[in-house]
Amino acid sequence: MDAVSPALLKFFLKYLKRIGKMVKKKGRWTVMAVRIVIDRKVKKGKEVEFAKMLRELRTKVVPSKGYISGETLRSLNDHSNFIVITTWQSVGDWKEWEKNPERKKVQAKIEKLMARPTKTKIYVYA
């Protein structure tokens, strides 16, 4: 097996740091990114309004500190069930966004469209 050049290794570590997968802590590289899984069940007939609010949240979250990416999935078997998965550089960054007044305002509107309360879980890379 060929040795990896120091320049390539440096580039790769810099890339991983930038996307939030790794940070240097006490001289060692460690994984720090977290995934937030938000499970929502929308009241029947409110899916279009809900999708509009999700787009509004997405435009607000993208420039947020620590936000890396996000995706929205809709259940194949239950079209009123949505999962939003976002990736953040740290739990602290997510918690900051969770407390953001703009997010809270939109989230309050979203909750009115829910058939049950929103469920949020935080995951780390195993």
pLDDT confidence of residue 23: 59
d(CA 69, CA 67): 6
Q: How many residues does the chain have?
A: 126
Angle at CA 88, nearest 5°, toward 110 and 119? Answer: 35
**Domain edges within the chain:** 1-29, 33-124
User: In this structure, what token pair is assigned to residue 32?
Assistant: 């720090």
For residues 84 and 38, the answer to whether their CB atoms sit within 8 Å is yes
Dihedral of CA atoms 46, 51, 57, 59 in degrees, nearest 10, equals -150
pTM: 0.74
User: pLDDT tens digits, the chain, 126 residues: what are they?
Assistant: 566 677 776 776 666 555 555 656 677 665 578 999 999 999 999 999 999 999 999 999 999 999 999 999 999 999 999 999 999 998 999 999 999 999 999 999 999 999 999 999 999 877
pLDDT confidence of residue 5: 76
pLDDT confidence of residue 45: 94
The reply to whether CATH 3.30.70.100 applies to domain 33-124 is yes
